[in-house]
Amino acid sequence: MTYRVTFVCTGNICRSPMAEHVLRRHAEDEGLDVEVDSSGTGGWHAGDGADPRTVSALRRAGYTSAHEARQFRPIWFDRYDLVIALDEGHYRDLRSMAPTVEAREKVRLLRSFDPAAADLNVPDPYYGGKAGFEECRELIEAAVPGLLDEIRKAL
C-alpha cells in the first residue's frame, strides 16, 4: 500500500518543494512505500522550477531538487493520505477548500509533527536571503521524524 503525502505552501517554489525532497529522501532511506509531492495555494508560479535558493539549500544538505510548481486543486484530496500545510494560512485555505469532513481531517501543519515546535509555522524565506532558506530546511528536517512515525503507523 503506497502512502501519499503532499506539501502545500503559497507558490510551490520554496517551502513545499523543500519539504517534498526532504521527506522523500528520508522515506527512501527507510524503504517506506511513500509517494511525495507538493503544490501551492496559488498558481502564479505554475510550471516554474523551485527558487534557486531552495535548490541551493537542498543541494548543500545532500537532497535532490528537481521540481515543477503547480497549484493545489480541491479534487486532489482523494489522492492523498495527508495534505500538509507549511503555515497556518495554508492550513486555513486547505481546510476551507476541502469538500468533506474526511478531507479536512487530512490537512495537518508540518510543524505539528515536531514535539519541540513552539510556533507551528515554517516562515516564508522568499523575501530574505540564504539564512532563511537554511532555517526553513532545518525546521522541515526537525518535523520529519514525527511525520515518519505517523506514516509508519498508517503503513
* Domain residue spans of the chain: 3-154
Strands (E), the chain: 3-9, 34-40, 82-85, 107-109
pLDDT of residue 145: 98
Q: Average of pLDDT values for 136-147? A: 98
Tens digit of each residue's pLDDT (9 = 90 or more) over 15-50: 999 999 999 999 999 999 999 999 999 999 999 999
Across all residues in the chain, what is the average pLDDT? Answer: 98
pLDDT for position 63:
98
The pLDDT of 75-100, averaged and rounded, is 98
**CATH, domain 3-154, list 3.40.50.720, 3.90.25.10, 3.40.50.2300, 3.40.50.1580:** 3.40.50.2300
Given the residues 9, 37, 93, 111, the one annotated as active site: 9
Region 106-116 average pLDDT? 98
pLDDT at residue number 72: 98
How confident is the model at residue 125, as a pLDDT? 98
Catalytic residue list contains 70: no
CB 115 within 8 A of CB 38: no
Give the CA dihedral 88, 92, 95, 96, nearest 10 degrees: -170
Q: What is the pLDDT of residue 36?
A: 98
Sequence-distant (≥ 6) Cβ neighbours of residue 86 within 8 angstroms: 7, 8, 9, 15, 16, 19, 109, 110, 121, 122
User: Is 124 considered catalytic here?
Assistant: yes
Set 14, 15, 53, 114: catalytic member: 15
Q: Name the active-site residue from 25, 81, 95, 124.
A: 124
Report how far apart the first and last C-alpha atoms of the chain are (Å, whole number). 7
Mean pLDDT of 100-117: 98
Residue range 8-18: mean pLDDT, rounded:
98
- 45's grid cell: 508560479
Q: How far is residue 71's CA from residue 23's CA, in Å, rounded to a whole number?
A: 20
Active site residue 60: no
pLDDT of residue 19: 98
Q: What is the pLDDT of residue 121?
A: 98
Q: How confident is the model at residue 151 (pLDDT cuts 50, 70, 90)?
A: very high
Between CA 54 and CA 41 the distance in angstroms is 18
Q: What's the pLDDT at 24?
A: 98
Query: How much is the pLDDT for 15?
Result: 98
Contact 63, 39 (CB under 8 A): no
